[in-house]
Structure 1
C-alpha cells in the first residue's frame, strides 16, 4: 500500500510513503533510495504521449475534476466497467457502461455524478498502476485531504474544483510545475498543426512538439480511407488520389511536421510486418483500394509495404520511427458503434517481430540516419526476439514497457528480460503514453522507482558499483530518451 495515512479520526493528512514501489529487502531498498535521489529531481522528457496540444495552446482552466481525471483515463474506465455486474459499490453507484463515466456522445454529463461513481469504485483499483498514479495525482498534485470513497466524494470534488479555479493549476503552470522539459503529442498526418503553431508563437515550440501519426492513411481496409485521401490532398496541396501522388503527399506532410519540431513518427498497426511490394503491385493494390475492392489480405500487404516506405522516408528526413503493433482495437465492435472508438476496449495479441522486421532492418538497420524504436505488449518476445534484435542492429532501440506493461512488476520484468542481451543503452527511456496530463509526473516517478530497484539489486549483488548505477539511472531517466529521439546530424543540417 502506498498510502502512509489518510485523514480520519487521528486528523493526519493523506500522505504517500516515500519508499513506495521500492524493493522490500531493507539493504536493497536503502541502495534504491540513494539511486532514486539522483533521478527524482531530473526534468521529464516525455517523447510519446497523447496530451491534446490544443489544451496547452489555449491554456484555459480545466473544467472539473471528473472530466480531467476520470473520463479520459482508459485504465480507470475499463477497470470500473469490468466490475459493472458484480455485487458491490461500482454497480450500486450506477456504472453499467463507459457512458456512465462520461465517455462517448451519450455519456453522463454531470461531473459530480461521474466523480461519485469513480469514488465509489476506488477499492476496485487496489494493486493496479492506476491506483498508484491516482494516489500521486490526488495527494501530490492536488493536495487532496482524503482518499476517494463514497463518503468523501463530494468533499474531494469540491477541494479539487477549488484548486482548478486557481491560476497555478492551469495547463501551462502545471507543465512548469511538473518539470517537463519537452512533451511530444501525437497528431494525425492530416492535422493542420494549428495548435502547435500557436504554441510556437508563444515561445513553446521547443517544449511541446508534434508526432506524425499516419496509421489511418496506411490502412486501405478502413471505411474512411478514401475520404482521408481527400483530406490528405487538401492539407498537402498534392493530389493523393494516385499512388505516386499519395507518396509525395505523405512526404510533404512529414516535412511539415519536421518544420513544426517533430522528432518522430508513430505507427500502431496490428502487425509489424514490413515486407515491401514491387512498385507495380503497390500501385495496383492502391487503385483497387480506391475502388473499394481490396481484399483484407491485399490491404494488410499494402500496410506492410507502407511501413517499409515510412522507414525509407525516415532514413531521409530523420524522424524516429516508433512502432507499437499487436493490439486488437475496439474488441467489442458494438461498444465502439454506440460509444466511440479507442475507449479502452483494446486487447493485446501475440506478436512476431524477427521475420516481420527483417525487411526494414536489412535495408536500414545500419543506416546512420535511421532510428526505429519498437514497443510491445507481448512480454514473451522481450528476451526471445526484441532484445537480440536491439542488441545487434545499431538503428533499433527497444521501447520501454508501455500501455498494459507500465507497471512496477512489468518494468522490473522488462529489465530482467532484456538487459542481459540488449544492455541498458539499447533501450529508449521511459514513455508515458498518456492522455491523462496530470498523471505524467506520477508515471515517470514510478518508472524511476522501478529502475532504481532494478539497479539497486545489481549493486547489492556486486554486479555494478554504486557510482555506475547512479550514472545508469540518470541515463535511463533523462539522457537516453533525449538521445533516442535526437535528430540525426545530416537531417538537422538538411
Structure 2
C-alpha cells in the first residue's frame, strides 16, 4: 500500500497558530503574483526550439545535480543515473530504471529543499498524488510521462502556465546568441533574455582559456591577440547582449577580489599567456580581479547589472570532473572576504549612479558582518537572495534574520531561483514567498510592523524589488 502525497496548505509557514494566521493572510496576497526569474540556467535552445521534454528521468533527475549528488553521496554511481561520460562510455539509458532508482531512495531527501521542490512539482505540475517508492515508481513515471508528452508542456507554453513574467538564461561571452535571435523572431524576446557570463574568458589560468579567447575573437570579429583587442571584444559582446535584451552580467569567481592591476602589467600578463606561458595561481587570481574591476567600469558604460557570486570551489573531485564534466554536484562553498574584496570596485564605482551591482554568497557568515552593511550604505549595491546550499526554508529565514536589520528590505534584489530545473521554478518562488510571509508575520506579532506594511513588503520582495534590480536597458 502506497502513502498518499498531499501538500499541506500551511507548509513552511510558522508553527505558532497566532503567527501562522497572520502569515496565511500575507501569503495569500503574494501567492498568485507573477514570477520574475532573472538568474536562471534554463538553456536558450529549449525556448528557441520549443521541443518536448524527453521523459521523467531526463526532466527531473539526470540534469539536476541537487538530486543526483544526494544519490551519489550514498554510493549510487553516476553511470547508473544516466549521466553522460566524457569518454562516451556506457551508462544507464533506461529512463524508467533511473526513475526507479530515484524512487527507491526517496527517503534520502527527507529534510532537504529538493524534497520540497519535487513534492510541489509532483502534485501541482504533474497531478501525482502518491509518495515515491519502489512500489509506486512505475505509476508515477507513467503519469509524469503523459503530462510531459502533452503539447501544453513545452518550454514556451510553460511560461504562461507558470506565469513567468520574464526569465533569463545564462550565456557565455562566446555565445553567438542565435537561439535568442530565434526567440525574438517568435515574439518572446522581451520575456526570455540572455545574461552575459564571461567567466571562461576571464579565468586566464583555465585549461581551455586560449580556445575560449580564440572563440571570443571569432564571434566578435575583433582580434584578441593583445589585451586591448581582448577588451574591445568583451565590449562588443556586451553590446550584442544588450541588443538581445540582456539586463545583467554574471560572475562566479572563487574570490570576491576586485583589485585592479596596473594596465601595463595586465597587458604583459595577457601577452605572456597568449604566447603559451602558464600563469601562476596568484597571477590568474590577479587577472580575474582586474577583469571584475574592468567589468564594473563597463557596466557604467552600457548599463548591465553586475552580479557577483564568489566562494565556490568548483568541481571538487578531479575524477568526477574528468569523467563526467563540470557541474555535477561537486561544488563546495568556501569562505569569502567580501569587505576587502569589493572595496576597490566600490571605492571607485560604489556611489556612481550608473553602476548597479548585486552581491550573492553561499558563505552565510558574511551576511550580517559584511554584506548587509555594504548593501546598507552603498547606493549601487543590492544584496542577492540565498542560493544553492541556502535556498532552503531555514537558510532563507537565517538570511532575513541576519541581513534585514542592517540592510533593510529595500536594499535587496528580491528572490532569484538560480535553477536549471525548469519545472521546479514555481516551487522555489512559492517557498520563498512562504518564508517571507512567516518572517513578516512574526514582525507583526511582535508589533514591529503593521500587517498592512508587512503585506506591502511581501509584495515588493516578490515582484517590485526584482523588477527594480534588473531594469531594462534602453538601446
Q: Same fold (TM over 0.5)?
A: yes
Q: 1:92 maps to which residue?
A: none
Is contact 1:7–1:145 with CA below 8 Å preserved after alignment? no
C-alpha displacement of 1:7: 6.2
**Alignment gaps of 5+ in structure 1:** 1-5, 85-94
**Alignment gaps of 5+ in structure 2:** none
- Alignment size in residue pairs: 470
Q: 2:246 maps to which residue?
A: 262
Q: 2:162 maps to which residue?
A: 178
Pairwise mapping of residues 165-314 of structure 1 onto structure 2 (< 5 A)? Answer: 165-293=149-277, 294-314=279-299
Q: 2:383 maps to which residue?
A: 398
1:420-477 Cα offsets, whole Å, 9 max, x none, are 1000010111000000000000000000000000000000000000000000000000
C-alpha displacement of 1:340: 1.1
Local SS of the residue matching 2:373: helix
Is contact 1:7–1:14 with CA below 8 Å preserved after alignment? no
Give the Cα separation in 1 of the matches to 2:225 and 2:212: 10
1:180-215 Cα offsets, whole Å, 9 max, x none, are 000001001100111111110010001100000000
Local SS of the residue matching 1:322: strand
Local SS of the residue matching 1:316: helix
Q: 1:376 maps to which residue?
A: 361
Give the Cα separation in 1 of the matches to 2:253 and 2:79: 27
Instruction: Pick one of 417, 422, 429 that aligns with 2:407.
Output: 422
Q: 1:483 maps to which residue?
A: 468
C-alpha displacement of 1:292: 2.9
Is contact 1:271–1:326 with CA below 8 Å preserved after alignment? yes
Query: Would you say 1:104 and 2:84 are equivalent positions?
Result: yes
Q: 1:329 maps to which residue?
A: 314
Q: 1:91 maps to which residue?
A: none
Pairwise mapping of residues 72-83 of structure 1 onto structure 2 (< 5 A)? Answer: 72-83=63-74
Query: Would you say 1:31 and 2:17 are equivalent positions?
Result: no
Local SS of the residue matching 2:358: strand
1:229-285 Cα offsets, whole Å, 9 max, x none, are 110011000001210000000000000000000000000000010000111001011
C-alpha displacement of 1:173: 1.6
Q: 1:87 maps to which residue?
A: none
Give the Cα separation in 1 of the matches to 2:240 and 2:206: 25
Is contact 1:196–1:205 with CA below 8 Å preserved after alignment? yes
1:37-69 Cα offsets, whole Å, 9 max, x none, are 011000000000100111111111111000000
Q: 2:42 maps to which residue?
A: 51
Is contact 2:2–2:136 with CA below 8 Å preserved after alignment? no
Instruction: Pick one of 320, 339, 342 that aligns with 1:354.
Output: 339
Give the Cα separation in 2 of the matches to 1:433 and 1:98: 23
1:277-327 Cα offsets, whole Å, 9 max, x none, are 111001011011112322111111011000000110001100000000000
Q: 1:438 maps to which residue?
A: 423
**Between 102-111 and 174-183, the greater mean CA deviation after superposition:** 102-111
Local SS of the residue matching 1:468: helix
Local SS of the residue matching 2:307: strand
1:392-426 Cα offsets, whole Å, 9 max, x none, are 00001100000100000010000000111000010
Local SS of the residue matching 2:152: helix
Is contact 2:197–2:251 with CA below 8 Å preserved after alignment? yes
Q: 1:450 maps to which residue?
A: 435
Local SS of the residue matching 1:167: coil
Give the Cα separation in 2 of the matches to 1:430 and 1:454: 15
Q: 2:456 maps to which residue?
A: 471
Give the Cα separation in 1 of the matches to 2:371 and 2:5: 42
Is contact 1:212–1:265 with CA below 8 Å preserved after alignment? yes
Give the Cα separation in 2 of the matches to 1:279 and 1:164: 53
Give the Cα separation in 1 of the matches to 2:333 and 2:327: 14
C-alpha displacement of 1:15: 2.2
Give the Cα separation in 1 of the matches to 2:105 and 2:54: 22
Give the Cα separation in 1 of the matches to 2:338 and 2:34: 33
Give the Cα separation in 1 of the matches to 2:48 and 2:2: 37
- RMSD of equivalent CA atoms: 1.1
Query: Would you say 1:407 and 2:392 are equivalent positions?
Result: yes
Is contact 1:382–1:418 with CA below 8 Å preserved after alignment? yes
C-alpha displacement of 1:78: 0.6
Is contact 2:201–2:212 with CA below 8 Å preserved after alignment? yes
Give the Cα separation in 1 of the matches to 2:178 and 2:105: 39
Give the Cα separation in 2 of the matches to 1:108 and 1:220: 36
